Amino acid sequence: MTRPDAPPGAVRQGSLREWNLAVVLGRIAAADRPPSRAELAAGTGLTRATVSAVVEDLLAGRLVAEAEPTPRTGAGRPSRGLVLATDGPAGLGLEVNVDYLAACVVDLAGRVRHHTVHRADLRPLSPAEALARLADLAAHARADASRAGLTLAGAALAVPGLVDDAGLVRLAPNLGWRDVPVPALLGGKAPLTAHVDGIAPLVVDNEANLAALGELHAGPAGRPSFLHISGEVGIGAGIVLDGALFRGARGWSGEIGHIPIRPDGPPCRCGGRGCLETYTGQEAILAAAGLAGADLPADTATTRLAELAGAGDPAALRALAGAGTALGVAVAGVVNLLDLDTVVLGGGYAPLAPWLRPPVLTEISRRVLTAAWSPVVVRPAALGAAAAAVGGAGSVVRRILARPGGWLARPG
């Protein structure tokens, strides 16, 4: 059942050590309390001698550190717990969205060590201007990280749109961007991050994908499968299957907004009819709640809607119930198809979760065959607003954890 796929590449001599570095580091990262070398040996099946040698490399490379000795536990020589270093490599997470910019730094242990959000309507700005502002935030984050002894090993930028492999933003409708070569505009002058073999200096990715990754790493260890729905102007989803983000054949998975709800429903700007977005998109919900004309920034309008619903406003409640039912119909189909056990309401849906959750659950229990056996969890996202930036930064450090060889081999 595990890894039925053919091995991708050959294994050369040194790969052995590289692999075991990753194994031991992964165990340290996944442990709930600092493990000793002996426990690592027992857990991995390696000998204590090997674990000692591996750990020595990791200590020298500032990837792990020895924890403070614990008070006392039993007889024998006390163990020295190992923890992920908090003064080694870190990831830089960036986000451009319609009404804010964000930058954050996440260390190896997954802790957010720096976080700045710059609120502003980005739509009037050109991509170059917006990215120049973002570069300022990034420089500030970099300086802050440096003061804390952290080295930025890579960066990930979240964009609300379709991105290709080279970091070209094909289309970000709500920003009004089209074919924007982000890496050239952002990293133009000096490189943002230190060069680390195997880590891309800047990855540009869809906001929904990175937010889903953030949710993945914020949650418990394991290999969960869930759907993370980002309800913004458009509705995007990040799909995590067996603990890995699934990007699709061309990297464009997650277009849940255009799942048909009623084949002959209202026309959608995608050309189809009755797509989910026409029922549950931000504009549709606000219009149904009577907030259409207000022309507030998206963020404010959602907050307003939540306030109205909390106060019992009938139009707001009706709008949210209708949206939740449509969302539930779509989600039920997805859960039936993929057998997911968790659905996360993120982005603009997170603050509306108290009102969206019940109708979604109703549709799931009505339509999902296996819901009776084992229930489906529907919950708001654990990470807050700028989840995508945190998720992006986290994806950088996760890659270092998965392949520490590149970091250890660096000149510095």
Q: Distance between CA atoms of 216 and 222, rounded to whole angstroms?
A: 9
The contact pattern for DNA, residues 65-104, with x = CB under 7 A and - = no contact, is ----x--x-xxxxxxx------------------------
CA atoms within 13 A on the CB side of 287: 9
Binding-site partner at residue 30 among its own copies, DNA, none, CB < 5 to 8 Å by type: its own copies
State the number of binding residues for its own copies (CB under 8 A): 78
**253 touches DNA by CB under 7 A:** no
Binding-site partner at residue 2 among DNA, its own copies, none, CB < 5 to 8 Å by type: its own copies
Nearest CA-CA partner of 373 in 365, 381, 384: 365
Structure tokens at 350: 């997170």
From the list 53, 112, 168, 218, which residue makes contact with DNA (rule: CB under 7 A)? 53
Phi, psi values for residue 328, rounded to 5°:
-65, -35
**Residue 369: which residues within 8 A CB-CB, separation 6 or more?**
336
**246 touches its own copies by CB under 8 A:** yes
Q: Cβ of residue 18: shortest distance to DNA, in angstroms?
A: 8
- Residue 260, helix vs strand vs coil: strand
Q: Cβ of residue 16: shortest distance to its own copies, in angstroms?
A: 6
Residues 258-287 that bind its own copies (CB under 8 A): 258-263, 270-272, 275
Interhelix angle 314-338/353-367, rounded to 10 degrees, is: 40
**121 touches DNA by CB under 7 A:** no
- Residue 258, helix vs strand vs coil: helix
**220 touches its own copies by CB under 8 A:** no
**Residue 34: which residues within 8 A CB-CB, separation 6 or more?**
28, 67, 81, 82, 83
* Angle (nearest 5°) at CA 85 between 402 and 32: 75
From the list 14, 220, 271, 412, which residue makes contact with DNA (rule: CB under 7 A)? 14
Q: Candidates 16-24, 191-199, 326-334, 339-347 — which segment interacts with DNA by CB under 7 A?
A: 16-24
Structure tokens at 343: 């659905």
State the number of binding residues for DNA (CB under 7 A): 31
Binding-site partner at residue 80 among DNA, its own copies, none, CB < 5 to 8 Å by type: DNA
**388 touches its own copies by CB under 8 A:** no
Q: How far apart are the first and last CA of the chain?
A: 41
Q: Cβ of residue 63: shortest distance to DNA, in angstroms?
A: 16
Q: Cβ of residue 253: shortest distance to its own copies, in angstroms?
A: 4
